[in-house]
Amino acid sequence: MPSAPCDNLRMDSELWTTTNVADYLGVDVRTVSAYRHRGQMPAPVQTLGKRTHLWDARTIREWNASRKAKHAPSQAAVPAPERTDPHEWLVWGERDLYTSEWVRLSLVEVDPPDGEPFEHHVVTMPEAAMTAIVDETGERVGLVWRHRFASGVWNWELPGGLVDEGEDPAETARREILEELGREVGELRHLMTFEPMIGMVRSPHHVYTARGCDVTSEPTEKNEGTGLQWIALDSVRGRIDAGEVRNSGTLAALLYLLSFGIGE
């Protein structure tokens, strides 16, 4: 193993290169580099040039021992997760970094298929529900032209919103139509439930369709765009191509309708 003097080490300290660390851990060199960039391992004690990093071998051994102990099966009543498929990711635990009414940011202890556990950031957001209202002729869909400040864009969207705690998503869809549009729909048909950013975000989106609607009151929600506008379905493809539809739930619903039709 290589050795080199360093101000914050004893003269007899053993220094390891990235390759040495990877060999000790039994992982690819790229995995060690990823741990270093994510701050998930001790920092190198010395860097030679731009690419050669050196670690204190003793520090790496101690870190690896504590890491293995941290992810060892717990003696508590909760059973340790078991891998049922070689490609399955195991979850050991989760701790919150930030929570609010709108979003939860947490670190999840995961054991990926390569067997090198680490903590992964996960964002949890409320479920959402939205409805594609098609007119009685089946030729037009009701959309709202609205501004989204986070992305700074205007786009066509379906009426919809966040699911309240304990609320059935279908009831959310009805409630949002009434609040945003002052309208009521009859039977709702569930089209799909999907995750818009499944790798790091939990936020199930429930998409429904309905045929026709009745005006029953004035909208009570004043921040939800320009109101319902009936848009010809045969113009939807062009609007998507023009970048006028950015919302994932709206895109999913419209593409479904274009591909499979209205249904009954």
62-81 pLDDT, tens digit each? 888 887 666 555 444 557 78
Q: Which of 157, 155, 164 is nearest to 133 (CA)?
A: 157
Q: Which residues fall within 8 angstroms of residue 79, CB to CB, at 6 or more apart?
A: none
pTM for the model: 0.72
Q: What is the pLDDT of residue 68?
A: 66
- Residue 136 sits at the vertex; the CA angle it makes with 132 and 140, to the nearest 5 degrees, is 50
Tokens of 135: 């007119």
Tokens of 232: 């010809």
Long-range CB contact pairs, 36-45, < 8 A, 24+? 38/118, 40/118, 40/119, 45/6, 45/8, 45/9, 45/15
Distance of alpha carbon 199 from alpha carbon 185, whole angstroms: 34
The partner residues of 208 in beta bridges, in order of sequence, read 131, 190
Distance of alpha carbon 166 from alpha carbon 144, whole angstroms: 27
Distance of alpha carbon 135 from alpha carbon 60, whole angstroms: 65
Element (H, E) at 126: none
Distance of alpha carbon 154 from alpha carbon 146, whole angstroms: 5
Q: What is the pLDDT of residue 2?
A: 42
Q: Which residues of the chain have pLDDT under 70?
A: 1-12, 68-78, 263-264
